[in-house]
Amino acid sequence: MASADPQELSGTLLAWYDRAARRLPWRTPPGSGARPDPYQVWLSEIMLQQTTVAAVRGYFETFVGRWPTVAALAAADDAEVMAAWAGLGYYARARNLHRAARMVMDQHGGALPADMDALTALPGIGRSTAGAIRSLAHGQREPILDGNCKRVLARCFAVPGWPGRSAVLSALWRLADALTPAERAGAYNQAMMDLGATLCTRAAPACARCPLAVRCIALGQGAQHAYPAPKPKRDNPVRRTRLVLATTPDGRLLLERRAPAGVWGGLWVPPALADAELDRPWAAAVADWCWQRLGTELVEIGTRLEMLPPRRHSFTHFHLDIEAALLRLPCAPARVADSAAAAWVEPSAPGDLGLPAPIRRLLDEAAARLAQGAESERRPGTKFHDNGEPT
């Protein structure tokens, strides 16, 4: 950093920001002198973790419309919050957000604290998110270091190594702290985020339009794509699950709400067979499940099962191979009624239940298969194979 004057660099970046700042619903216009609502800053920062602005905008507006204050969010039902978050991914963020809102009500009188230690004591708030809240909403000189900022700093100062390593991360934090100005720290932090999101992008940096181009060591080396170094490759483990899409004759499908922790915690998914059933023949495993869960004995189960194409959903640390079978029940089971943990829904219109994106796609596919099957039954002479497909 010896070749860069921090004051000159921050001044250059702020001048660019005043001209090119993105207009986002959680921001106030540059130069207005107004500060954004701390709650909205917090909400946006949590939503933007590993997620693009384009994906976040609609969710943010929905949340603020339904829960405009910390108090309103704290009073919301868990299921409502998870349903509003469904599709945005990384669901632990929603659980932490809701839990933190209740802690703010209980411990801070409903006002999101401005103190760094108090902020980072809340679930889901780390140093960078706390820095954003303190600088953007409270005008404090506090650095941030989200993914966009890491990329800008790594390129501008040719910081070697993957930012996930502690030594590299510490070096980037030292740079971020040294460059953050005493005045307009919030605007400077937003400028860094905007620069990384719009010009200093990962795949195709627009160096010709970058206000820091003349100071960028990586550009001078012609090595922009070498910084930051990528995460070392590793083979993520693969897990399996078998889902039963059980439907009644009138087309309703059974969903169950997952426990709060774990994969898709708090969200609604079709029932999963036990791990011990993963390698058994589908028909035998589902027949046992029907008897144990629904109290229904199915003798000719092969004619009621229709296998859906297998699919893989990738999480941050593992891949999930999903096998699913559509099961057409002969009648609605009396044992399983709608409750806080179970619901029979129209697969094409499940209401406001929180559904993970892969499950939403499964339900759409089930709805199409059910409609196809109903049409086939209306055609005289139609016969079905053992797997449920019409001949």
pLDDT at 374: 59
Please compute the mean of the pLDDT values over residues 186-211 and round it to a whole number.
Answer: 96
Q: Catalytic residue among 8, 45, 277, 323, which?
A: 45
The answer for 50, left when phi > 0, alpha when psi is -120 to 50, beta otherwise, is: left
Does residue 45 carry a catalytic annotation?
yes
For residue 364, name the pLDDT band (cuts at 50, 70, 90). very high
For residue 376, name the pLDDT band (cuts at 50, 70, 90). low
**Cβ proximity of 331 and 297 under 8 Å:** no
pLDDT at 95: 94
Q: Of the ranges 270-279, 328-337, 357-366, which one carries the lowest mean pLDDT score?
A: 328-337
pLDDT at 381: 38
Q: What is the pLDDT of residues 55-71, one digit of tens each?
A: 999 999 999 999 999 99
For residue 358, name the pLDDT band (cuts at 50, 70, 90). very high
Q: What is the pLDDT of residues 136-170, one digit of tens each?
A: 999 999 999 999 999 999 999 999 999 999 999 99
Q: What are residue 55's phi and psi, to 5 degrees?
A: -75, -30
Among 112, 121, 146, 144, smallest CA distance to 131 is for 144
Please compute the mean of the pLDDT values over residues 186-208 and round it to a whole number.
Answer: 96
**pTM strictly above 0.75:** yes
Please compute the mean of the pLDDT values over residues 199-205 and round it to a whole number.
Answer: 95
Non-local CB neighbours of 248 within 8 Å, separated by 6+ positions: 329, 331, 332, 344
pLDDT at 6: 73
> Does the pLDDT value for residue 40 go beyond 70?
yes
> Does the pLDDT value for residue 391 go beyond 60?
no
7/384: higher pLDDT: 7
pLDDT at 233: 87
Domains and CATH numbers, the chain: 6-226 (1.10.340.30), 238-378 (3.90.79.10)
pLDDT at 261: 81
pLDDT at 385: 41
Q: How far apart, in whole angstroms, are the C-alpha atoms of residue 263 and residue 358?
A: 12
For residue 375, name the pLDDT band (cuts at 50, 70, 90). low
Q: What is the pLDDT of residues 315-330, one digit of tens each?
A: 888 999 999 999 999 8
